[in-house]
Amino acid sequence: DAKTTQPNSMESNEEEPVHLPCNHSTISGTDYIHWYRQLPSQGPEYVIHGLTSNVNNRMASLAIAEDRKSSTLILHRATLRDAAVYYCILRDWGYNAGNMLTFGGGTRLMVKP
């Protein structure tokens, strides 16, 4: 699987937007970009995913660079509940031997009141 690189940690103020970057310079044409987050003492939860175009859902937005070598998860208004570890993961849509997720170190987001 192609590798992703994320900052170890970031800080944000409550009710401000947060931009979480992810570099994936070796991404292949069939890799989807997935984001999951893990709140304290919980299992990971799905946030969003995309292939080439920017994506929006009720939780966040995903901005994908034109060359697909980087992406940014955008939380429009951070709340204290958004404090979590955010994982950027590449998944090959053509991979049919288990569809496993390969977790890297992620970014620990801290939200200050």
Task: Tell me how far apart the alpha carbons of residues 72 and 4 are, in angstroms, rounded to a whole number.
Answer: 12
State which of residues 22, 106, 107, 111 lies at the interface with another protein (CB under 8 A): 106
Strands 61-64 and 55-56: antiparallel
Strands 9-13 and 107-112: parallel
Q: How far is the CB of 101 from another protein (least distance, A)?
A: 6
Applying CB under 8 A, the span of 22-30, 61-69, 73-81, 91-99 interacting with another protein comes to 91-99
As a dihedral over the C-alpha atoms of residue 66, residue 70, residue 74, residue 80, rounded to 10 degrees, the angle is 180
State which of residues 33, 60, 88, 91 lies at the interface with another protein (CB under 8 A): 91
> Which residues, numbered 41-60, are part of the site for another protein (CB under 8 A)?
42-46, 49
Are 93 and 30 within 8 A, CB to CB?
yes
Does 21 participate in binding another protein (rule CB under 8 A)?
A: no
Q: Which residues bind another protein (CB under 8 A)?
A: 32, 36, 42-46, 49, 87, 91, 93, 97-106
